[in-house]
Structure 1
Amino acid sequence: MNQKRAILSVSDKTGIVDFAKELVALGFEVISTGGTAKALKEAGVPVTGVSDVTGFPECLDGRVKTLHPMIHAGILAMRGNPEHMQQLEKLGVTPIDVVAINLYPFKQTILKPGVTLEDAIENIDIGGPTMIRAAAKNWQDVSVIVDPADYGKVIAEYKENGSVSRDTKFALAGKVFDHTAQYDTMISTYLRRQRGEEGLPDDLSLTYEKVQDLRYGENPHQKAAFYREIGNHDNTLDAAEQLHGKELSYNNINDANGALDLLKEFGEEKPVAVAVKHANPCGVGTGETICQAYKNAYDADPVSIFGGIVALNRPVDKDTAQELAKIFLEIILAPAFDEDALSILTQKKNIRLLKLPNLAKPNSKDLLDMKKVAGGLLVQSLDTELLHEEDLKCVTKREPTPEEMEQLRFVWKVVKHVKSNGIALAKNNATVGIGPGQTNRITALELAIKYAGDKAAGSVMGSDAFFPFPDCVEAAQKAGITAIIQPGGSIRDQESIDAADKAGIAMVFTGMRHFKH
């Protein structure tokens, strides 16, 4: 039993030929299956077929080939257990010292356009996970490799020491269970979506792929990384292409995501610009051109936008770039940048330019909204709804004019994305004042009015939740606000309605709240 043996069976064949050649040079017998065996033979590597080891032919279209005691006994036998080794000798089983396997390409299969359930099921690996889990369980004696990047380390240790170190084998075994956990979670998630199940599962497993390490988290003493959810999401931030600027930070990504979510409320019907600072919108504007939309967003709060993030739903042209370049911005997110725009904006060394062609496309309802808390995880469906038309009703004697109603719809899209307690004021298809994240609603309104200044007169107001008292309506009257949109639902709604009627303010209830914490 002094013969060293390795089994190689990979879907990702990166580096496998060179790895096999090095193993053979080190005195290993290489066992392989199917496409891997073919690739090795074509490269001149001596290969023993699995069927030659098991004495049993591959069958069921290759579904059964490695599921055999001659393979698994060779992997699972504990070399330091005399009884195990005696049994191997009696059974004529040669131990397997190296297992290099990566699994059927399930992820790549389900990401293909038009993939069928049958195709997906056929790409669920059975033998591969069984072998690598067995090898990882017996990690003291077996080197198991699921990542081609580890081939070189294993070969180097064999060449230097004649064996792979205990620490390396333990680390490789850990990667196996990371790999199989992600693999099984992808399958579970895919099948759950195929079943169209409503609600949230009793047991929730999640898997993400690292996009990049970040310099730090919200603060320099916190570690951070950005992970991608596995799926066909061409309209989310992880799909953006960075064209220019320094590395994205944790706060950059969080704020850019907030800007993107708000931008999606407007679709592509008209040019829209969204400015965000510290995860709250500070200016939103529309216009006949994207340049005018940006100017309107800038004018909404020219102080807060400095050092903020701007998202646009139209390509950035020369005129818009010239305006954007006038102040310091962290990120500009747009579907495209023309050559003139790039030549202007890339003169600013640190500004990040992110290209996301499908940024205006709505988020998938399959996505979940999650917030980590100590010892647990809060999970909910994404807030992808705005309002239900059948629930929209005017509750005051005066109904909003068509122009006011247009502005109320605009401001409702904005206030949905303002941290609670949130108030937004708008006029002429642009915000004029936003009051975010206050511990009471009247302070949020007072802050929005302060930001708006003289522009509050003639504006409309959106509130993310109901008014518990008539004080907000009374403050709106003093500021010259002409119409209000809010969810309604307070036991004291009538007091606010009466105050609005007294002030001649039109007020519309949506019946839908948009808390954002």
Structure 2
Amino acid sequence: MQKWALVSVFEKDGIVPFCQSLQELGFGILSTGNTAKHLAQHGLSVTTVESYTGFEEILDGRVKTLHPHIHGGLLARRDNAEHLAQLSKLGIEMIDLVVVNLYPFEQTIARPGVTDEQAIEMIDIGGPSMLRAAAKNHEFCLPVVEPADYPRIIKAYRENGPQMALRRELAAKVFQETARYDAIVADYLTKSTFAADAVAQAGDVERDWPGTLIIEGVSKQSLRYGENPHQAAHFYMEPNATLATIARAKQLQGKELSYNNIQDADAALNILRGFDDFQSPVVVAVKHMNPCGIGIGSSIDEAYSRAHDADPVSIFGGIVALNRPVDGPLAERLSKLFLEIIIAPAFSEDARAVLQKKKNLRLLTLDMGQPLWAKGATTWKRVSGGFLVQEVDQAAEPVSWNVVTKRQPTADEQAALRFAWRSVQFVKSNAIVLTNAVQTLGIGAGQMNRVGAAKIAVEQAKTKAKGSVLGSDAFFPMRDTVEVAAQAGVTAIVQPGGSLRDDESIQAADEFGIAMVFTGARHFLH
């Protein structure tokens, strides 16, 4: 009895030698369209699907393999006499092997300027149908979706044939791949349906959400452990992750990234990219997902000095992210610290020579010319029994800039307030930052009450608190935070406003001669 392999692949690498080996093993090759032409051009004997089914391709190739002669041969059980009788009556041959990889929908939608029509045409229908049929009937029909499996399949046939363990493994791969593929298509269609424009500026969300949430990731790497050594962990990458993301960063040297490294590095990257519109060299130092120093300058060296000097104690063992390349002299300065990771667009040869002496130091590069987040991008967090999903906080500019005190902020204070407002967005709530116009001076993060966060920020800033400005991620529930700021010498405050007791905070600011601005928006970060 003739053994048949059905071959229909978009990715042609390795398919010719694979099919040559199959023919040597006695397989006949059934194939479609361009795959059949490609195999024939390389000297293989090919039976086209349309000649086998007696039905020509129609609708520009949209329908070619959706035919009983194909799916009957894929799905028939060889141990079912009734199935075999039906095949014989209808003249349908059994198909023993299916080799399919799918239309490149993911690569298509990643291309700049791709149209909706082009994307829709790259949604594969016949390929997933054949693969799923073969995977369902894997006991008798071997499904092959990954070219990397070609050599081991030939080896298995040359020995004692593919055994059930291999068949089950390949069937699982099929359903993993088709689930991944469907998730990408669903995500594309969902995002194009529920556009980000449906968010009201005042903060009331009028966005429609899909009835089913699909979260899809591709395995990137196993991790030694999670947050703690007793927790197993793995890193998955979104299939459409861009070169601007931590998931696509290139590691130049150093130890393997840990679970905590990846979280901290991602926090550092998000903070750094939050200052893109400042159009200045920026350096961020991060510890435990909070900034311990943010500096901007006329040069990346100056920005680094300010980020370092903002908190020279906490930067030890932290992560430094820079939005300009690192050269040799700056690398010398960085090498004097114990750091876990340095992130930058590039490292010069001199910088690499300096930093490679620190074997465990991880260097990451990525493309900071691309946006980090697409408009309307969402993030999610696991809770027991479900997921919380929200839009990424990309509200860089305040909703309003309303001076609510008798004293107006000076021009210098205005610049410092805008820097403080941008900085506090990335600090865990309750959050207070003291800054000048180019540098964080004191950061109070993650406290149970706001005045406690203010006291920590003031204590960290020490004498630098005098003449600084204060930024708060949320409103003041009472006047005590203003009083702490005044005692430290803070001259201006930026906060969202919106408390029932705003008047008390405004009155306190007026008493102390502090200028205060309400932005009309908060930046909780839990």
* Superposition TM-score tier, normalisation by shorter sequence: over 0.9
Give 1:8 shift. 0.9
Question: Aligned with 1:118: secondary structure?
Answer: helix
The answer to whether the 8 Å contact 1:263/1:360 transfers is no
1:174 to 150, 166, 172: 172
Is 2:184 the partner of 1:186?
yes
**Letter matched to residue 485 of structure 2:** A
1:264-297 residue CA offsets vs partner (Å, 9 max, x unmatched): 2221521111100010000011122111111111
Per-residue deviation at 1:66? 1.1
The 8 Å contact of residues 108 and 119 in structure 2, kept in 1 or not, is answered as yes
Aligned twin of 2:210: 201
Shift of 1:429: 1.4
- Letter matched to residue 113 of structure 1: P
* Local SS of the residue matching 1:488: coil
User: Paired residue for 2:273, among 235, 240, 264?
Assistant: 264
Task: State the 1:215 CA deviation.
Answer: 2.3
> Structure 1 residues 93, 41: CA separation in 2 closer, same or farther (over 3 Å shift)?
same
What is the aligned partner in structure 2 of residue 26 from structure 1?
A: 25
Q: Is the 8 A contact 1:368 1:379 kept in 2?
A: yes
Tell whether 2:14 aligns with 1:15: yes
1:404 to 2:403 alignment: no
Partner of 2:66: 67
- CA distance in structure 1 between the partners assigned to 2:31 and 2:370 by the alignment: 48
Shift of 1:88: 0.8
* Corresponding letter in the other structure for 1:344: V
Which runs of 5 or more structure 2 residues have no equivalent in the other structure? 199-206
Gaps of 5+ in 1: none
The aligned runs of 1:418-497 (5 Å cut-off) are 418-497=427-506
The whole-number CA distance in structure 1 between the counterparts of 2:495 and 2:336 is 36
1:238 matches 2:247: yes
Return the letter of the residue paired with 1:475. V
8 Å contact from structure 1 (residues 460, 484) kept in 2 = yes
Question: Secondary structure of the equivalent of 1:8?
Answer: strand
Cα offsets for 1:6-25 (capped at 9, x unmatched)? 11111112221222122222
What is the distance in 2 between the residues matched to 1:172 and 1:133?
Answer: 11
SS in structure 2 at match of 1:304: coil
Residues 417 and 437, structure 2, Cα contact 8 Å, conserved in 1: no
- Per-residue CA distance 1:224-261 (angstroms, 9 max, x = gap): 23222233633222232222222222211111111111
Match of 1:285 in 2: 295
1:373 matched to which residue of 2? 383
Paired with 1:360 and 1:393, the residues of 2 have a C-alpha distance of 33
2:262 counterpart of 1:253 = yes
- Compared with structure 1, are the counterparts of its residues 383 and 239 closer, same or farther at alpha carbon in structure 2 (3 Å cutoff)? same
- The answer as to 2:384 corresponding to 1:385 is no
Distance 2:30 2:493 in 1: 74
Q: TM-score, normalising length from structure 2? A: 0.94
Q: Using the TM superposition, give the Cα deviation of residue 436 of structure 1 relative to its aligned residue in structure 2, in angstroms.
A: 0.8
Q: Report if aligned partners of 1:264, 1:359 keep a CA contact under 8 Å in 2.
A: no
In structure 2, C-alpha distance between the alignment counterparts of 1:318 and 1:290, rounded to whole Å:
12
2:346 aligns to what?
A: 336
Inter-partner Cα distance in structure 1 for 2:26 and 2:281: 67
Which whole-Å CA distance do the structure 1 matches of 2:372 and 2:59 have between them?
A: 43
Cα distance between partner residues in 2 of 1:221 and 1:101: 40
1:325 aligns with 2:335: yes
Tell me the percent identity.
55
Q: 1:113 & 1:272 partners in 2: Cα distance? A: 28
Alignment of 1:129-148 (within 5 A): 129-148=128-147
> Which one-letter code corresponds to 1:482 in the other structure?
T
Distance 1:5 1:364 in 2: 46
1:309 correspondence with 2:297: no
What are the within-5 Å matches in structure 2 for residues 52-131 of structure 1?
A: 52-131=51-130
Check whether the contact 2:506–2:516 (CA below 8 A) recurs between aligned residues: yes
Instruction: Report the Cα offset of residue 361 of structure 1.
Output: 4.0
Supply the distance in 2 between the matched residues of 1:251 and 1:24 (Cα, whole angstroms): 51
Q: What's the counterpart of residue 204 of structure 2?
A: none
Query: CA separation of 1:251/1:182 partners in 2, compared to 1, >3 Å: closer, same or farther?
Result: same
Cα RMSD for the two superposed structures:
1.7
- Secondary structure at the aligned position of 1:365 is classed as coil
**1-structure distance, mates of 2:515, 2:56:** 80
Contact 2:295 2:438 survives alignment (8 Å): yes
In 1, the alpha carbon distance for the partners of 2:194 and 2:525 equals 27
Looking at structure 2, the residues matched to 131 and 360 of structure 1 have their Cα atoms a distance apart, in angstroms, of 38
Q: Shift of residue 189 of structure 1?
A: 2.0
Q: Secondary structure at the match of 2:252?
A: strand
Count of residues paired in the alignment: 514
Structure 2 residue matching 1:203: 3-state secondary structure = coil
Cα contact 1:264–1:360 (8 A) shared by 2:
no
Q: CA separation in 2, counterparts of 1:11 and 1:368?
A: 32
Match of 1:220 in 2: 229
Equivalent position SS for 1:292:
helix
Distance in 2 (alpha carbons) for counterparts of 1:362 and 1:486: 26
| 1:204 Cα deviation after fit | 1.9
Query: 1 CA distance for matches of 2:294 and 2:438?
Result: 8
Q: Residue 288 of structure 2 aligns to which amino acid in structure 1? A: H
Q: How does 1:28-47 map to 2 (within 5 A)?
A: 28-47=27-46
Which residue of 148, 163, 178 maps to 1:165? Answer: 163
Distance (Å, rounded) in 2 between the aligned partners of 1:91 and 1:3: 17
